[in-house]
Chains A and B, each alone.
Chain A
Amino acid sequence: DSGVTQTPKHLITATGQRVTLRCSPRSGDLSVYWYQQSLDQGLQFLIQYYNGEERAKGNILERFSAQQFPDLHSELNLSSLELGDSALYFCASSVGAGTNTEAFFGQGTRLTVV
């Protein structure tokens, strides 16, 4: 168990809908990262937050947004869902932001858009 908790584990929704994925980082970790794993794109970095502030942005669609709350948990919001958004979404956390610290991954949320 990495200590990173993601909910829900599975999510099935229809095209056009909006969903929210939640991540609780390991105790003491200030950074949260979101990754998308799909058959088409592989494992891609989406976005990073550090202590509530956006730190780095990757290939995140405009339909997607994220935030990190004062208690350090993070949410990834996916809207106007398309079939191609079906993927495994990982959250990872680390103590620091750009320092020599390891990122620990959650078990992922499997999103299926039908």
Chain B
Amino acid sequence: AQTVTQSQPEMSVQEAETVTLSCTYDTSESDYYLFWYKQPPSRQMILVIRQEAYKQQNATENRFSVNFQKAAKSFSLKISDSQLGDAAMYFCAYRSADGATNKLIFGTGTLLAVQP
């Protein structure tokens, strides 16, 4: 079974600075997808970024980028130029690409605080 681990329960960053959130996962599959979701106080789950395992290039979405290390089974999220609106719980998630289901397996989350 696949597992996702987020070892940082809480992180803090100064506004305009850069922060990196860590995620490791365990799987025996060779093809899969990895995601970072943001959950602000509104509770809405918002997709931040996704990475296909077969792509070597790291995904980037504006100020958000990932460092995907497939051999190490590591998938960290870097937030550049942090803004107050980035304060939220961030979840790393795994999805198999076997075609059977789109279910997501989530980590326990990292609560990010942004200091003005």
Contacts and interface: CB of A to CB of B under 8 A. Distances in A.
Given A43-B91, A55-B101, A88 B106 contact: no
Given A55-B100, A102-B47, 18 more contacts: A31-B102, A33-B103, A42-B107, A42-B108, A43-B91, A43-B109, A48-B101, A48-B102, A56-B100, A90-B45, A94-B102, A97-B101, A98-B101, A99-B99, A103-B104, A105-B46, A107-B44, A108-B44
A78 B44 CA distance: 22
B114 interface: no
29 contacts: A31-B102, A33-B102, A33-B103, A42-B106, A42-B108, A42-B109, A43-B91, A43-B104, A45-B104, A48-B101, A48-B103, A55-B101, A56-B103, A90-B45, A92-B45, A96-B102, A97-B102, A98-B100, A99-B99, A100-B33, A100-B97, A101-B102, A102-B50, A103-B102, A105-B44, A105-B45, A105-B46, A107-B43, A108-B44
Interface in B15-46: 33, 42-46
B102 A107 contact: no
A8 interface: no
The dominant DSSP class at the A interface is strand
Interface string A78-114: 0000000000101010101111111111011010000
Interface of B: 33, 42-47, 50, 91, 97-109
